Structure 1
Amino acid sequence: MELDLARLADYRPREVERPSARAAAVLVPVIEREDGDHLLFTERSPDLEAHPGEMAFPGGGYEPEDADLAGTALREANEEVGIRPEEAEIVGRLDDVPGPYGHVVRPFAARVPDREYRPDEREVVEVVVLAAADLTDPAVYSVEERRNQEGETVGLPFFRVDGAVVWGLTGFVLARFLSIVSSWEPPGGFPGHPMLDEGERFRGE
């Protein structure tokens, strides 16, 4: 399955402005292979304070040395899995997503080479590459209820592919990305993001 990344050029992403939140960014790495496009994820170390043991896109918090948030995403991808900034072709960005640890995350999609990537063992247990064709199979997607830090029950998107589980914040980013660059729509519609104010809602919710 080939993803139409050119659609990102016309997409107008939502920006979330929260003075008290720390800015962060992730890279959504797309790898082109003969059998179609694939996405690169990391399995985060269980020892990390934020999102321990979860599947995620490479990324992290903005640092003063970063030129901008795109620079943050590229720096973190280089530190976590060795994607060099010069070999990542950023093709667009997605909606800002608030995170549960006081961050607002800005995702950037990029083409990256199909080669072996070596994880930083302090942060990443494994690099996982999943086919877009598998991720857009309606059978792998579900919305499941979880309790947030306030004890409220919220619906979160889950993708289950070959033993890998992508959910939570990364699930929201992935669902929005796939809905833009392919004909995929989440079965049953997008779950409402539990940390977005009414004026910040995803288009399509």
Structure 2
Amino acid sequence: MDLSRVARHDPVPVTDEEREAGVLVAVVDPGNDAWPHDGAPEDPHVLFIKRQDDLGEHAGQMSFPGGGREDVDPDLEGTALREAREEVGVEPASADVIGRLDDIRTVTRYAVRPYVARVPDAGYEPHDTREVAEVATLAVDDLTDRSNYDSERRDHPHYGDIRLHYFRVDGYVVWGATARMLVQFLELAVGWEMPSEPDREVEADAEFPV
């Protein structure tokens, strides 16, 4: 994994949506000698949360820790770090923020800004159990395994022709906005190449295969 490519990336901002959010793409990377070694993963992992099934937005979905910007946040990096602490206990001082990915738009009219950071292996668990059902750290090797990935093209009611990505690892399915961010992260960090064509084309109202 080469996170210097993330550090050098010139992210594309989104500035015309109604609301802003920040998320943390947290890499649990055993290559940092400052981190604990006992029980540390053998390979880099990415930290995700599984949202509670009764939430109004993105219920039950896998996502990166994060949320909407609040008045107490100095900037969107502060938002991402605050939310990661509140949701799973990542201490802001322990997060080594490397850089940013491109902002993305969501169907809930958010401009989401993803920050990539190294974090220590600290056995993260849900802190805000009202929103977070589980914490999952998924191996980068598994996320980049072509047999764990598929995609589809459909006509989105808001954004027109889009490609949806699905990463299926350890019984979890990462899709939607989180998968869009994950694709760019894997392209930058490990040189993963998204297949040039989707696996299928579906109607706009087709059920999501999750």
> Shorter-chain TM-score: which interval?
0.7 to 0.9
* 1:57 paired residue number: 64
* 2:134 alignment partner, one of 108, 116, 126: 126
Question: What is the CA-CA distance between 1:155 and the residue it aligns to?
Answer: 2.6
5+ residue gaps in structure 1?
Answer: 192-205
* 2:24 alignment partner, one of 24, 27, 35: 27
Is the 1:97–1:105 Cα contact (8 Å) retained in structure 2? Answer: yes
Q: State the number of aligned residues.
A: 188
* 2:49 alignment partner, one of 30, 42, 52: 42
Question: Are residues 157 and 58 of structure 1, via their aligned partners in 2, closer, same or farther at CA, if it must alter by over 3 Å?
Answer: same
Cα distance in structure 2, aligned partners of 1:169 and 1:141:
15
- Residue 167 (structure 1) aligned with residue 175 (structure 2): yes
Normalization by structure 1: what TM-score? 0.86
Question: What is the CA-CA distance between 1:190 and the residue it aligns to?
Answer: 8.4
Stretch of structure 1 that moved more, 91-100 or 111-120: 111-120
* 1:198 paired residue number: none
- SS in structure 2 at match of 1:23: strand
Question: What is the CA-CA distance between 1:117 and the residue it aligns to?
Answer: 1.3
Is the 2:153–2:198 Cα contact (8 Å) retained in structure 1? Answer: no
Stretch of structure 1 that moved more, 150-159 or 113-122: 150-159
Question: What is the CA-CA distance between 1:32 and the residue it aligns to?
Answer: 1.6
Is the 1:141–1:186 Cα contact (8 Å) retained in structure 2? Answer: no
Kindly report which structure 2 residues correspond to 1:1-205, keeping only aligned pairs within 5 A, or say none.
3-18=1-16, 20-33=17-30, 35-119=42-126, 120-145=128-153, 148-149=156-157, 154-188=162-196
Question: What is the CA-CA distance between 1:153 and the residue it aligns to?
Answer: 6.7
Question: What is the CA-CA distance between 1:177 and the residue it aligns to?
Answer: 0.4
Question: What is the CA-CA distance between 1:188 and the residue it aligns to?
Answer: 2.1
Cα distance in structure 1, aligned partners of 2:71 and 2:7:
28
Letter of the aligned partner of 1:115 in structure 2? A
Question: Are residues 17 and 152 of structure 1, via their aligned partners in 2, closer, same or farther at CA, if it must alter by over 3 Å?
Answer: closer
Question: What is the CA-CA distance between 1:7 and the residue it aligns to?
Answer: 1.1
Computed over aligned residues only, the root mean square deviation of the Cα atoms, in angstroms, reads 2.0
Letter of the aligned partner of 1:144 in structure 2? E
Cα distance in structure 1, aligned partners of 2:147 and 2:46:
18
Cα distance in structure 2, aligned partners of 1:155 and 1:7:
24
Question: What is the CA-CA distance between 1:154 and the residue it aligns to?
Answer: 4.0
Give deviations 1:29-70, integer Å, cap 9, x for gaps: 000235210000000011111111000000100111100000
Give deviations 1:16-36, integer Å, cap 9, x for gaps: 120x42011100000023521
Cα distance in structure 1, aligned partners of 2:139 and 2:76:
27
**Percent identity, aligned pairs only?**
48
Give deviations 1:168-189, integer Å, cap 9, x for gaps: 1000000000000112111226
